[in-house]
Chain A
Amino acid sequence: MVSVARKNLFAEKTRFIVSVSGVAFSVLLIIFLFGIYNAFSVIATAYLNKTGAEIIVAQEGARSMSHTFSILDRSKIGLVEGISGGKAYGLVSRTTNAQVTEEDGSKIVDFPGRRKGENVEGKKSEISIIGFDTKSGIGGPWVMLDGSGILGKREIIVDRVFANRNDLKIGDQIEAFGTVLTISGITDKNNMLIYSRAFMDLNEAQDMLSEKNTVNFILVKLPDSMQTDAIVEKLEKEIDGISAYKMNEFAEINGEEITDSFLPIILVIAIIGFLTGSVVIGMTIYTSTIEKIREFGVLKAIGASNKTLFLIVFEQSLWYAMVGLAGGIILTLVVTKVAQGTVPIIIAEYNLTIYLMAFFSTLFMSAIASFIPIRRISNIDPAMVFKA
């Protein structure tokens, strides 16, 4: 069948471009926001889920790595290992403001290991240092963008966002807890919005913090993960002053800190994007229908049913929506690339679910938009075509 909808659309190129741009920007808003949400959701739980351990042991009552304090005597590592029957590893986690540059923006050292001076007015950046067992790698960074991942004396691996924000690269130095640390690697997916994770050798971290006999958490790797529930229970029962968690549960609790505060905001903005898109398509479809009301009257007079006319309107709406969707996806990828280059803290990850959600949202928008002029079309008097 001759596509009146398609012909009408492409006959008016300017209107088409403007309307499709409106939809594309709405799609950009939806995909980009959910991409950010998705990225932070992944990051919120990914580190813990990727530690390689099945159980995490914390001081009794501690439920989070960042919002509650946990300190355990180092001797508990052996105890946990004995009871669980697996391998136990200590983990140190401490947040501080690391000195990254001098007041004038220059690096804080002249050459490796030598501090230029004590200048507290220079740039500082919040960092959460994780000391982990480098031999096993349990609790270490799970993505390496640069560097080998092997940590030597006074060396640290920082996150991509932390490095970009502070213009740091491998070999540069920062100061934390009064110790100058050399960056030996760049990791990814460890930026937690207000702070960023960095990784050190466990012994080095304990030495730097002068806390040789304590750790903050104990990670347990079991020979048989099917026993996890039972061992968690056993650990809590047999060791005083600890709380033991299955790693995925602990990760979820930690993740909620981000998702619970982030999700509602993202969701509201995404709904605004969705409504904007619907209004844009709706306005476009309505005005183009009104402009073509005489042509719809002609079609009705010569014998087109209301259903045929609705289908023309719906097809028009669908064209706007689908071309807008394609444009929106391309736009999102470009905007993400540009945004991440200029604002390093922006992280967005897109997956099939997000694209499908954008697809169905756009489809829904076009359905809503095509309903707006339906009443007008139903009421067209075909006798109008006899008027000159």
Chain B
Amino acid sequence: MFVLNLHKIKKIYGEGETAVKAIDGVNLHVNQGEIILIMGPSGSGKTTLLSIAGGILKPTEGKVSLKGTTITELDERDLPRVRIENIGFIFQSFNLLASLTALENVELAANLAGIKGEEASKKAKKILEDLGLGQRLNAVPANLSGGEKQRVAIARALVNNPDIILADEPTANLDSSMGHEVMNQLRSITKERTKSVVIVSHDQRIRDIADRVLWLEDGKFKELGKMIADPVCGMSIEKGRYRVRFRDKEYFFCSPGCKKEFEQKPLVILKNQEKSKA
């Protein structure tokens, strides 16, 4: 059985002429212990898909099943319990409660799942220690670094032993090395506990932590094999309208910005591309 199963998901915002199709018939099956990275350009529907997978947003059409329970058929009042017990969330801007310490932020999530007192505190402490934050238990978010904040958020997502972790742009507010370090930590701790993870991100640097990488564009998954890399930003893209012919070869870009940048210094960019490949 899949941990998470998204079947023919459609999400349309607005009505009539102003209707926007954010997700267009997406299917997704997540296996136990699998880490999936969903990439795609801005506005491709990644976050919408994640919200639907987490029972935060209702799809216009389609079904979401979590460990066999179709959560899209549940009453609105039952969804908070499903979220706190079965799903762990990690957000781009950490979203820790400012007045609570690291320990309390994690403990609160346990409390919301019905775990009280000493037991909640012990669980929170253990998981923070596992993530290397044993010395920072009583620090409030304002006194934590970005990497530490995201590790507290990971601890909060894991404290209730959920079936799946959903992470939205988890490295967006971290520098390159810290982003990679935190994601590796996420991989090792979830693999250790055979937890499934779905990450949505722009960040090419975290491709290596995923078991499977999917490309979402215009509300649909696209085959990554047919994608090419933008020579400027490295993003996987389809051959499209932003193109430049240089020395008898055609180059494709994700946006007019990347195209312009390439036109200004093509040799430097191609040299850098060669270097990074090496």
The stretch among A105-113, A187-195, A260-268, A291-299 that forms the contact with chain B is: A291-299
Does A304 belong to the interface (CB within 8 Å)? yes
Q: Which residues of A contact B93 (CB under 8 A)?
A: 388
Give, as a whole number of angstroms, the nearest-CB distance from A379 to chain B. Answer: 13
Question: Within residues 361 to 382 of chain A, which ones have a CB less than 8 A from any CB in chain B?
Answer: 382
Alpha-carbon gap, A26 to B265, bound state (A): 70
Looking at A2, A7, A383, which has the most chain B CB atoms within 10 Å of its CB? Answer: A2
Beta-carbon contact of A301 and B112 below 8 Å: no
Q: Are A303 and B83 in contact (CB under 8 A)?
A: yes
Report chain B residues within 8 Å CB of A295.
Answer: 95, 97-98
Closest Cβ of chain B to A133, distance in Å, is 71
A383 with B51: CB separation less than 8 A: yes
The reply to whether the CB of A160 lies closer than 8 angstroms to some CB of chain B is no
A1-B111, A2-B104, A2-B111 known; A300+B97 contact, CB < 8 A:
no
A11 and B112 contacting across the interface, CB-CB below 8 Å: no
Is B107 interfacial (CB-CB < 8 Å)? yes
A386 touches B83 (CB 8 A): no
Q: Mark B75-115, 1 if CB is under 8 A from A, else 0.
A: 00100111111010101110101111000100111011100
Contact B100–A386 (Cβ < 8 Å) = no
Does A275 count as interface, using CB distance less than 8 angstroms?
no
Taking chain A's interface residues, is the majority helix, strand, or loop, or is none over half, making it mixed? helix
Report A-chain residues with C-beta under 8 Å of the C-beta of B111.
Answer: 1-2
- Bound-state Cα–Cα, A300 to B97, Å: 12
Cβ contacts B27-71/A at 8 Å (1 or 0 each): 000000000000000000001001100101100000000000000
In the complex, number of A-B residue pairs with CB atoms less than 8 Å apart: 77
B172 located at the interface, meaning its Cβ lies under 8 Å from any Cβ of chain A in the complex: yes
Q: Which residue from chain A places its CB closest to the CB of B46 in the assembled complex?
A: A386
B80 adjacent to A305 (CB under 8 Å): yes
Nearest chain A residue, comparing its CB with the CB of B116: A1
Q: Which residue of the partner chain A has the closest CB to B94?
A: A298
**CB-contacts of B211-269 with A (<8 A):** none
Q: Is B169 an interface residue (CB 8 A)?
A: yes
Query: Chain A interface: which size bin?
Result: 20 to 34
Residues of B within 8 A of A230 (CB): none
Q: Which of B138-163 contact A (CB under 8 A)?
A: 156
Whether A302 pairs with B97 at a CB distance below 8 angstroms is no
CB contacts (< 8 Å) of B89 on chain A: these are 301-302, 385
- CA distance in complex: A382, B56 (Å): 6
B-chain residues with CB within 8 Å of residue A12 when the two chains form the complex? 99
Residues A299 and B112 in contact, CB atoms below 8 Å apart? yes
Asked whether B98 lies within 8 Å of A383 as measured between CB atoms, the reply is: no
Q: A1-B116, A4-B108, A303-B84 are in contact. Are A298 and B97 (CB under 8 A)?
A: yes
Nearest residue in B to A9 (C-beta to C-beta)? B99
Of A8, A294, A299, A383, the residue contacting B56 (CB under 8 A) is A383
Residue in A7, A302, A383 whose beta carbon sits within 8 Å of that of B99 in the complex: A7
Whether the pair B80, A304 counts as a contact (CB closer than 8 A) is yes
Q: Is the CB of B108 within 8 A of A2?
A: yes
Q: Given the known A-B contacts A302-B84, A386-B168, are A2 and B92 also in contact in the complex, defined by CB atoms under 8 Å?
A: no
Enumerate 16 A-B pairs (CB-CB under 8 Å) in ascending A order.
Answer: A1-B111, A1-B116, A7-B97, A7-B104, A8-B99, A295-B97, A298-B91, A301-B54, A301-B95, A302-B83, A302-B89, A302-B109, A305-B80, A382-B56, A386-B168, A388-B172
Query: Contacts A1-B111, A4-B100, A383-B56 given; 19 further ones with Cβ under 8 A?
Result: A2-B100, A2-B111, A4-B97, A4-B99, A10-B99, A295-B97, A300-B80, A301-B95, A302-B89, A303-B81, A303-B85, A303-B113, A308-B112, A383-B51, A383-B57, A385-B95, A386-B91, A386-B168, A388-B93
| Residue positions of A touching B, CB distance < 8 A | 1-2, 4, 7-8, 10-12, 294-295, 298-305, 308, 382-383, 385-386, 388
